Amino acid sequence: MEVRTPDPDPEPEGSASVPSAVGPGWLSDIELEQVRHRMPVLYVEAVPVRVDGLGQVTEVGLLLRANALGEITRTIVSGRVMYGETLRDALFRHLEKDLGPMAFPQLPASPVPFMVAEYFPIPGVSPYSDDRQHAVSLAYVVPVTGTCEPRQDALELTWMSPAEASAPQVAAELEGGRGALVRAALASVGVLP
Amino acid sequence: MEVRTPDPDPEPEGSASVPSAVGPGWLSDIELEQVRHRMPVLYVEAVPVRVDGLGQVTEVGLLLRANALGEITRTIVSGRVMYGETLRDALFRHLEKDLGPMAFPQLPASPVPFMVAEYFPIPGVSPYSDDRQHAVSLAYVVPVTGTCEPRQDALELTWMSPAEASAPQVAAELEGGRGALVRAALASVGVLP
Amino acid sequence: MEVRTPDPDPEPEGSASVPSAVGPGWLSDIELEQVRHRMPVLYVEAVPVRVDGLGQVTEVGLLLRANALGEITRTIVSGRVMYGETLRDALFRHLEKDLGPMAFPQLPASPVPFMVAEYFPIPGVSPYSDDRQHAVSLAYVVPVTGTCEPRQDALELTWMSPAEASAPQVAAELEGGRGALVRAALASVGVLP
Amino acid sequence: MEVRTPDPDPEPEGSASVPSAVGPGWLSDIELEQVRHRMPVLYVEAVPVRVDGLGQVTEVGLLLRANALGEITRTIVSGRVMYGETLRDALFRHLEKDLGPMAFPQLPASPVPFMVAEYFPIPGVSPYSDDRQHAVSLAYVVPVTGTCEPRQDALELTWMSPAEASAPQVAAELEGGRGALVRAALASVGVLP
């Protein structure tokens, strides 16, 4: 049984859609646990935004979630890239998983992320940390044009102005140092105050 | 009277919508001519593209046009930034001017261009040249989702595959060295062969 | 006589090296004043940084300056692009002007800036303002490896940690909204807290 | 025993410096082989360049190498990111490994790559392929200022002009589709013809 943790990659590895007893390309929970301590794990992350008619970012969407300890934390769209999966497929899969099927995200034309975030198990090596693993994440700003319906374990998606999203109190609520990542996202689109 | 030249910034400066006898912010034809030999002129340019559901570029749109000498040349969306105008406003204005009101361009969230192109009156200083002026252009890749109807002086908008658009014969038909700019656009979105 | 103002482009236009009575390509003070109200003026800006052996930014250099009102303000390297001048030449010229001949700046291999800053005469149109003109600036992060000796009208170049340089009180001292530009610079190199 | 293959990540996994019987963070040859068919493997790649005094790229360095079949192939600096290793450390390690200790590479201030290259075991999924694994590579343009001495299994480092390096015959000699990556590198610094 899988215990839901404050997991930036929370798809159940043993769920029906991604069976545990699988061929090459899929890892069982135990295998994933082992590999996580042997190799950096590749992630994609997305900062969902609303844009106006001229493409200017007007709002930023942050996910609100209760973690295993009952604490409320914020995060962004985030998840692992599977074996054989393109970055675009992974990005789309995690956007749909976290924002629902009606979010209509506009994936970027360029595969170059606005930032590469390095998460280390020990805090302090970089601005980002993840006690489960060494993860390297390609992070994108993704405009969404539809209606977002976060899945069950996320309490809600909160839309904020760039000023609100970059405030220190919001940064403190973001998991793993992602406050810096959200600010970098806002800076990359010219709206960080 | 204005003679239509193979002008990458062809809005009639003396037209009804942009009157010649104007206050600060607008230049008469004569003034523009003078300034063009005194200061670099700021341009925005756009390479229109079609993308698939995952944001991947599938086609590139190039404008076909007959110049004053009756030669057929190709170009991209291109035009001057006016005094007091934001880059986004200028980009939208030139996209609408060149692709029509139903093109529905998706302007980028980031104001950072994929390339800065420097056009000098004398060829050879940079890959780009413009015998009328020293222009510096911020160039963007812009997905368009609607129907493009080029305005009268453009014969048509031709959609090409990335491989076709980057071929030497197409590059040779592009004005002012813009073959290199189209290839840089394709490279920036990961589809230059 | 030229009155020194808190000018982000402070080279004396009428000085010996750039004579006022000049041919095409150079503007007299009066002409510049006129053009500044008719066209956006192209600038380059540089945020000087120190990097460690692996390229990571460790310090940011901000210029301290007394303006015409006797107020102490901070700024970054900034100046106009001249007619016929390449962006690289302009960037190098202004770096040498503001940091002295022994700064040994490492100009970026890519001409793409980390941000395009739009300065409007009226505050509020964008994060940046300049009451003299509509300026559009291509902004770069530039590592300097030598010794910086700011020229006379700058009091000093202050090296700060990324955390110090992004603090609100420093942002408030930066001219024309450049606090946001310095933060965007830090974000672009992954060191904005 | 390790057979030298045309390997873009050729450090001997079982060599003295990286022992085969190791703790967390290092994979034995067998383990690496297994993981390579279960997860995308994170790589860093570097296109070494020479720049002039203004930062403009003048030459590109390509490695020449005989593969296991005795064929001469070209490649760029390339290698795996280890568990617990930062991207900068990995980039520096592979630059030193491939170019020698006197190359004095200038690592970029920004961790954002010019391109993300996705290598799949089956050609055609993306422009890049690697029959050993699914690898995702963050690719950087890196100016080198010193003397390059390729290690033993590389025959030489060849410096070429941008025009030479982007020619079809050179692209055909580059392993795994890296011709497109070299062209994208040249485009990102504004020197792709």
The strand ranges marked E within chain A are 41-51, 57-66, 72-75, 77-80, 115-120, 128-129, 135-143, 154-160
The answer to whether the CB of C23 falls within 8 A of the CB of C31 is no
Question: What are φ and ψ of residue A32, in 5° steps?
Answer: -60, -45
Q: How confident is the model at residue B7 (pLDDT cuts 50, 70, 90)?
A: very low
**Chain segment B160-191, per-residue pLDDT in tens:** 999 999 999 999 999 999 999 999 999 999 99
Instruction: Name chain A contacts of B108, Cβ cutoff 8 Å.
Output: 55
D106 and C55: CB-CB below 8 Å?
A: yes
Q: How far apart are CA C162 and CA B18, in angstroms?
A: 46
Q: Which residues of chain C are at the A interface, by a Cβ-Cβ cutoff of 8 Å?
A: 115-116, 127, 180, 183-184, 187-188, 190, 192-193
What distance in Å separates residue B21's CA from the closest CA in chain D? 39
Average pLDDT over residues A182-192: 98
Distance between start and end Cα atoms, chain B: 45
**Chain segment D152-193, per-residue pLDDT in tens:** 677 799 999 999 999 999 999 999 999 999 999 999 999 999
Q: Considering chain D, what is the average pLDDT of its residues?
A: 86
Chains in contact with B, where contact means 3 or more Cβ–Cβ distances below 8 Å, are A, C, D
The answer to whether the CB of C103 falls within 8 A of the CB of C147 is yes
Average pLDDT over residues A144-157: 85
User: Degrees (nearest 5) of the Cα angle B13, B17, B19?
Assistant: 55
The answer to whether the CB of A82 falls within 8 A of the CB of B142 is no
Q: Which residues of chain D are at the C interface, by a Cβ-Cβ cutoff of 8 Å?
A: 49, 51, 53-57, 86, 88-89, 91-92, 106-112, 114, 141, 143, 188-190
- pLDDT of residue A19 exceeding 80, the answer is no
Q: For the domain bounded by C40-188, which CATH number is listed?
A: 3.90.79.10
Question: What are φ and ψ of residue C169, in 5° steps?
Answer: -65, -35
pLDDT value for A31: 75
Helix axes B178-188, D178-188, angle to 10 degrees: 120
Q: How far apart are CA A118 and CA A165, in angstroms?
A: 21
Of D37, D112, D125, the CB nearest to A112: D112
Sign of CA dihedral C33, C36, C42, C48: positive
**Chain segment B9-59, per-residue pLDDT in tens:** 444 443 334 333 334 456 677 777 777 788 999 999 999 999 999 999 999
What distance in Å separates residue B189's CA from the closest CA in chain D? 9
Entry pTM? 0.89
Average pLDDT over residues D130-152: 93
pLDDT value for D110: 97
Q: How confident is the model at residue B71 (pLDDT cuts 50, 70, 90)?
A: confident
A109 and B54: CB-CB below 8 Å?
A: no
Q: Of all residues in chain A, what percent carry a pLDDT higher than 70?
A: 85
Average pLDDT over residues C164-192: 96
Closest CA to C97 of C70, C116, C75: C75
Q: Note the ipTM here.
A: 0.86
In 3-state terms, what secondary structure has residue A33? helix
pLDDT value for D103: 95
More confident position, A26 or D112: D112
Distances (CA, A) of C70 to A179, B45, C78: 38, 42, 20
Question: Mutate which of A166, A183, A189, A191 to test chain C, going by most C C-beta atoms within 10 A?
Answer: A183
Q: How far apart are CA A118 and CA A137, in angstroms?
A: 6
Q: How far apart are CA B118 and CA C140, in angstroms?
A: 17
Instruction: Name chain B contacts of D115, Cβ cutoff 8 Å.
Output: 187, 190
Instruction: Name chain B contacts of D127, Cβ cutoff 8 Å.
Output: 190, 193
Tell me the pairing of strands D77-80 and D41-51. Answer: antiparallel
What distance in Å separates residue A142's CA from the closest CA in chain B? 9
Sorted by sequence, the CB contacts under 8 Å of residue C134 that are 6+ apart come out as B83, B84, C36, C39, C40, C41, C118, C119, C120, C121
D26 and A35: CB-CB below 8 Å?
A: no
**Chain segment C139-174, per-residue pLDDT in tens:** 999 999 999 998 767 778 999 999 999 999 999 999
DSSP-assigned letters across all residues of C174-192: BGGGHHHHHHHHHHHTT--
Average pLDDT over residues A90-96: 96
Of B55, B107, B189, the CB nearest to A55: B107
- Name, of A64-78, C21-35, C167-181, the range with top average pLDDT: C167-181
The answer to whether the CB of D116 falls within 8 A of the CB of A111 is yes
Sorted by sequence, the CB contacts under 8 Å of residue C33 that are 6+ apart come out as none
Closest CA to D34 of A17, A28, A88: A28
Closest residue in D to A125 (Cα) is D86
Distances (CA, A) of A5 to A11, A28, A135, A175: 11, 17, 16, 12
**Chain segment C55-83, per-residue pLDDT in tens:** 999 999 999 988 778 888 999 999 999 99
Q: Which residues of chain B are at the A interface, by a Cβ-Cβ cutoff of 8 Å?
A: 49, 51, 53-57, 86, 88-89, 91-92, 106-112, 114, 141, 143, 188-190
- pLDDT of residue A8 exceeding 80, the answer is no
Sorted by sequence, the CB contacts under 8 Å of residue A66 that are 6+ apart come out as A72, A73, A153, A155
The strand ranges marked E within D13-146 are 41-51, 57-66, 72-75, 77-80, 115-120, 128-129, 135-143
CA R_g for chain A: 16
More confident position, D96 or D5: D96
Sorted by sequence, the CB contacts under 8 Å of residue C152 that are 6+ apart come out as none
Sorted by sequence, the CB contacts under 8 Å of residue B83 that are 6+ apart come out as B24, B25, B26, C37, C38, C39, C40, C134
What distance in Å separates residue C143's CA from the closest CA in chain D? 8
The answer to whether the CB of C63 falls within 8 A of the CB of C74 is yes
Of D116, D127, D187, the CB nearest to B183: D187
In a 13 Å sphere around the CA of A141, the CA atoms on its Cβ side amount to 27
Q: How far apart are CA C19 and CA D146, in angstroms?
A: 41
- pLDDT of residue B69 exceeding 50, the answer is yes
Closest residue in A to D139 (Cα) is A112
Closest CA to B42 of C81, A79, C148: C81
Q: Which residues of chain B are at the C interface, by a Cβ-Cβ cutoff of 8 Å?
A: 24-27, 31, 35, 37-42, 81-87, 111-116, 118, 120, 125-126, 134, 136, 138
Sorted by sequence, the CB contacts under 8 Å of residue C23 that are 6+ apart come out as none
Specify the long-range contacts of residues A87-93, CB closer than 8 Å, at least 24 apart.
A87/A44, A87/A111, A87/A138, A87/D116, A87/D118, A87/D136, A88/B54, A88/B55, A88/B56, A89/B54, A90/A44, A91/A44, A91/A46, A91/A140, A91/A142, A91/B54, A92/B53, A92/B54
pLDDT value for C71: 85
What distance in Å separates residue B87's CA from the closest CA in chain C? 8
HEC profile for chain B? CCCCCCCCCCCCCCCCCCCCCCCCCCCCHHHHHHHCCCCCEEEEEEEEEEECCCCCEEEEEEEEEECCCCCEEEECEEEECCCCCCHHHHHHHHHHHHHCCCCCECCCCCCCCCEEEEEECCCCCCCEECCCCCEEEEEEEEEECCCCCCCCCEEEEEEECHHHHCCHHHHHHEHHHHHHHHHHHHHHCCCCC
User: Degrees (nearest 5) of the Cα angle A92, A97, A100?
Assistant: 95
Closest CA to B173 of B10, B45, B64: B64
Q: Considering chain B, what is the average pLDDT of its residues?
A: 86
Average pLDDT over residues A156-178: 95
- pLDDT of residue C190 exceeding 90, the answer is yes
Closest residue in D to A33 (Cα) is D24
What distance in Å separates residue A45's CA from the closest CA in chain C? 16
Question: If you search the block for the tokens 């900034």, which residue do you land on?
Answer: C78
Q: Of all residues in chain C, what percent carry a pLDDT higher than 90?
A: 72
Q: How confident is the model at residue A154 (pLDDT cuts 50, 70, 90)?
A: confident
Sign of CA dihedral B83, B88, B89, B93: positive
B109 and A54: CB-CB below 8 Å?
A: no
Chains in contact with D, where contact means 3 or more Cβ–Cβ distances below 8 Å, are A, B, C
Sorted by sequence, the CB contacts under 8 Å of residue D70 that are 6+ apart come out as none
Average pLDDT over residues D33-55: 93
Instruction: Evaluate whether the domain defined by A29-188 bears CATH number 3.30.70.20.
Output: no
